[in-house]
Amino acid sequence: MGRYVIRRLLQFIPTVLGTMFLLHYMTSLAIQFSGNPVRALFGDRTPPPALLQAITDRLGYGDPCLEQKGNPCFGLFLDRVSGVFLHFDFGINMRRQEVTDLVANAIPFTLKLLVIAIVFEAVVGIAAGVWAGLRGGSFADNLVKISTVFVISVPIFVLGVVVREFIGVKFGNILRDQEWVPDVIAYGFFSPGFKPDYPFASLLIPGMVLGAVALATTARLTRTSIMENIRADYVRTARAKGLANKRVIGVHTLRNSLIPVITYLGVDIGSAMAGAVVTESIFNVPGIGRLVTNAARTGEAPVIIGVVTMLVLVILLVNLLVDLLYAVLDPRIRYE
């Protein structure tokens, strides 16, 4: 087990370095081909060359290799890698704020959003899946099947905007007119976006939207998996030896059925982070997703490299955890 973990951790190093280099190369190419992003700060006003040069150097875009098209800028890459790993220095953005500070400010919001999304999709998704799976072909099954297809086929940016406009604004406005509805519901939960006054309640709907697509997949995976396992020999054995139905379903069937679901949820943390880019912009959540979106728009190389590298680390760690969880769920899996 310990050796397995160490081996996995060692594999992180080339993955992270490779990602960083790709990001570094792409952002450098973007600057080489589309020009110095600092010039765009001045817009229509042509800055004096000395001023432009001073600000370009200050913001870290002064390396001459950024003017040679196609140059991979190895020198700059080494500076960045040593900055990140030796000095924990991820560079600064166009507004001269440390990338580490930006991430530190943004991460609590994204974490909250992710926890809400994952809990929502795991609890509701698995429950719906079990409900449907145990009663194949019934009304419950069809209801789950149809509603999940509906959710899966709507892209998240459409779902997000529709929820914001109709639930947050229109329905919320009706509630806000009613005296009897508590403020935390009317002004918090049904706010059309994140609201600093209600830092948790106003994140619930964005979190649910973020989790919605994965919820549908989770429900369908659980349903299929349950249907398959319920006919397995060991379940029949369990029933035959007279175990209570609760125990047969809850311990024997469900636990084995959860293996694909857990894999999916683990992988989904990665895609939920990608989804957060959209959800956070729609619901104005000041998290990592919004940070990356803005950085990509303005071409802020240090922010993109820093934040995405951190995301890669998170996804690697989560995947490792998921692999370790298999051993917990399935006694046949052993890591040596």
Partner 1 sequence: MRGKFLKVAVAATATAMLATACGGGGDDSDDAGGGEAGGTLRVYATEPAFLLPSNANDEPSIYVIRQLYRGLVKYNAETSETEMDLAESIESDDKKLWTIKLKDGYTFDNGEPVNADSFIRSWNYAAYGPNAQNNAYFMKRIAGVDDVTAKDPDGDGPEEAPAPKAETMSGLKKVDDLTFTVELKAPFTGFPTTVGYSGFFPMAQACVDDIDACNETPIGNGPYKIDGEWEHEVEINLARSDTWKGEPGKPDAINYRIFADVDSGYAAFQAGELDVMYTLPPARFKDAKANYGDRLFEQPGDSFNYVGMPMYNENFQDKRIRQAFSLSIDRQSIVNAVFDGRYAPATGFVAPIFEGAREGVCTYCEKDLEKAKQLLAEAGGWKGGKLVLWANAGSGHEDWLQAVGDQVKAALGIDYELKVNLQFPEYLEKADNNQFTGPFRLGWGPDYPYLETYLSPLYTTGASSNNSTFSNTEFDNLIKQGDSADTIDEAITLYQQAEDILAEEMPVVPMFWRKEAAIYSENVDTFVWNQVAGADYGATSLK
In eight-state DSSP terms, residue 91 is: -
Minimum Å distance from CB 18 to partner 1?
A: 27
CA atoms of 89 and 23, how far apart (whole Å): 17
Which residue, 282 or 311, has its beta carbon nearer to partner 1?
282
Which residue, 42 or 150, has its beta carbon nearer to partner 1?
42
Number of H helices, E strands in the chain: 15, 0
Report DSSP letters for 253-277, one per residue.
IHHHHHHHHHHHHHHHHHHHHHHHH
Minimum Å distance from CB 20 to partner 1?
A: 24
Minimum Å distance from CB 284 to partner 1?
A: 4
Q: Enumerate the H helices of 90-181 as residue ranges.
A: 99-134, 139-153, 156-162, 172-177
Two tokens at 89? 């220095």
Minimum Å distance from CB 159 to partner 1?
A: 15
Which residue, 12 or 47, has its beta carbon nearer to partner 1?
47
Report DSSP letters for 272-330, one per residue.
HHHHHHHHHHHTT--SHHHHHHHHHHHT-HHHHHHHHHHHHHHHHHHHHHHHHHHHHH-
Which residue, 11 or 57, has its beta carbon nearer to partner 1?
57
Minimum Å distance from CB 21 to partner 1?
A: 23
Which residue, 147 or 298, has its beta carbon nearer to partner 1?
298
